[in-house]
Amino acid sequence: MISLLQAEAFKLRRSLVLLVAATPPLMVFALGFLVTASDNGPDMWQMQIMSGSAIWGFFLLPMSAIGLTALQAQLEHAPNTWSHTLALPRPKWQVFLAKAVWAQLILAIVSLLVMIAGILSTLAGLPFSETGRMTDELDWGLALSLYARMYVAAVFVTALQWLIATRFRSFAVAVSVGIGGTFVAVAATSSKWGLYFPWLMPVNILASDPERANLALAYGLGGGVLVYALGIVWLARRDWA
């Protein structure tokens, strides 16, 4: 299994996956710097972290999951390397598990970098602002906790996107489902059923009702693990013609 994980890491070299993974943190840094430097941002760290994570959880995190899983699957689909990868003397389920692990690892790294970029952008923008400082102390624990919980709640949507991207050769299928899901999420934000919609689970971590946030966490993780487990079994058993 370790060698399969190493091989999957190897495949990422010079790939678009790494370029796309770098985009969200860079975007967040640029936007955060401009907002802070132009005095349009909050003057409290707590507010800054909450508003930054809201944008991340509502929009950027699902979009990152869509893009990264689709690009990861295209590493095999585009050159049609499945016939090589799946003919190696390794259980097929291990091959897919290694891919799933890397999908989650990449998203974890991107989540961490986005969190850091959000804070660094504010620190970099403050000297250019009129106030030049925040009115409270930076709470790293709050930031880590929020981003980590959002990441866990996003396992469901990541698993769904990963499964669709791996199953279908066309990039368009995964991206269409992802964009459709994100669009529906915008409409369903305030719905009581929104809690059960995978694309909305990350942002539900910010719900004022702690029970709703905990449910989003549980559904996100549980649903994601279930989709990965069933998906890997199905992918390993199906024909790869």
- Give contact residues for other proteins (rule: CB under 8 A): 3-4, 6-7, 10-11, 13-15, 75, 78-84, 86-91, 239-241
Report in angstroms how near the CB of residue 68 gets to other proteins at its nearest. 16
Q: What is the dihedral of CA 151, 156, 159, 165, to 10 degrees?
A: -100
Distance (Å, whole) CA 93 – CA 216: 28
Report in angstroms how near the CB of residue 93 gets to other proteins at its nearest. 12
Nearest partner of 202 among 9, 24, 40, 59, judged by Cα: 59
Sign of CA dihedral 170, 174, 179, 180: positive
Angle CA 200–5–10, to nearest 5: 100
Whichever of 81 and 170 has its CB closer to other proteins, that residue is 81
Whichever of 92 and 149 has its CB closer to other proteins, that residue is 92
Whichever of 78 and 230 has its CB closer to other proteins, that residue is 78
Report in angstroms how near the CB of residue 241 gets to other proteins at its nearest. 5
Whichever of 80 and 208 has its CB closer to other proteins, that residue is 80
Report in angstroms how near the CB of residue 117 gets to other proteins at its nearest. 26
Whichever of 17 and 227 has its CB closer to other proteins, that residue is 17
Report in angstroms how near the CB of residue 103 gets to other proteins at its nearest. 17
Catalogue the long-range contacts made by 17-21 (C-beta closer than 8 Å, 24 or more residues apart): 17/68, 17/71, 17/72, 17/75, 17/106, 20/64, 20/67, 20/68, 20/71, 21/64, 21/68, 21/106, 21/109, 21/110
